Amino acid sequence: MTILVTGGAGFIGANFVYHMLEKYPSYKVICLDALTYAGNMETLATAMENPQFIFIKGDIADREAVYKVFESHKPDWVVNFAAESHVDRSITNPDIFLRTNVIGTGVLMDACRKYGTSRFHQVSTDEVYGDLPLDRPDLFFTEETPIHTSSPYSASKASADLLAQAYHRTFKLPVTISRCSNNYGPYHFPEKLIPLMIANALNDKSLPVYGKGENIRDWLYVLDHCVAIDLILHKGKVGEVYNIGGHNERTNLDVVKTILKELNKPESLINYVTDRPGHDMRYAIDPTKINNALGWLPSTSFDEGIKKTIKWYLDNRKWWENILAGEYQGYYEKMYAGR
């Protein structure tokens, strides 16, 4: 079995690479990543030592480069993690989100059609559903919830989902889609909420919190997410959408206060800043479908997962300090050029 993992030098993609290499030692894992600002080859340093792993630098929106990868390695499955994913960046510069998240997905599916790939899995997000009101804790996103996007990022991911469903219906491409809640855990890029707060707290810097910190997110430990995608690939039904949720709802302020408490830092470090435009209030996923169909439920509570995550950042300071210093961007050329 050969699996092409796009965006495998990013946060969730890298965790998935390690999960698959460990669980299926006979599988070959090919990683295609453009190494844009959030792609980090230092994250894949251990994987590079595994003979079953191959890294290729390339852009999923580059049709010639993608076809070359398919021609050379003929992947059985493609798992598409490659995406621009930061909401604030999408508000500043929507163009790159459309190119990667929509055009790139289309190029990958065209390659799957051309080379007879037996599964294309699109990794999506609960943000395609918009948000839920804070005063209705009984409401959750299901696979039947209408798409209602709030940002250029979520709109680009929704567009990719619709394109994938269209390719399945029109061309019979064997597609599955998963929509996850907010991930956290090892290798999370330090611009995102949890790693940013950990890094700032460790450096006694202010912790910026949007608005009053009332926005609620359903937190999913990244390794639970990887297990869910693994199950969908091996046992999921082609053409289906599966919601992957953590059942770990917390306000942003609660998350920040939990991190400060774990690190024994004062809450006076919190700095409330002007809210972002169109900021979704609450995300919450109902994972009943994937539980009933595939037997998946998250195994990591937020209290357990945040302790593991904080410990990982304490034990791997060099990894995130290199990112904050910008040194990680030269790692590929330094370590792997010519390999």
pLDDT in tens, 41-74: 999 999 999 999 999 999 999 999 999 999 999 9
Helix pair angle (302-315, 317-325), 10° resolution: 70
pLDDT in tens, 83-131: 876 667 777 777 888 889 999 999 999 999 999 999 999 999 999 998 8
Helix pair angle (104-115, 152-171), 10° resolution: 20
Active-site annotation holder among 18, 129, 153, 332: 153
Question: Is 153 a known active-site residue?
Answer: yes
What CA dihedral angle connects 95, 97, 101 and 102, to 10 degrees?
Answer: -30
**How far apart (Å, rounded) are the C-alpha atoms in residues 95 and 105?**
15
Who contacts 225 (Cβ-Cβ below 8 Å, separation ≥6)?
Answer: 12, 15, 180, 183, 244
Active-site annotation holder among 33, 42, 84, 126: 126
Q: The tokens of 305 are what?
A: 């997962």
**How far apart (Å, rounded) are the C-alpha atoms in residues 246 and 297?**
8
What CA dihedral angle connects 262, 265, 267 and 271, to 10 degrees?
Answer: -110
Q: Computed over its alpha carbons, how large is the radius of gyration of the chain?
A: 19
pTM of the model: 0.92
Active-site annotation holder among 59, 127, 230, 286: 127
pLDDT in tens, 147-171: 998 888 889 999 999 999 999 999 9
**How far apart (Å, rounded) are the C-alpha atoms in residues 228 and 291?**
10
**Cβ proximity of 175 and 164 under 8 Å:** yes
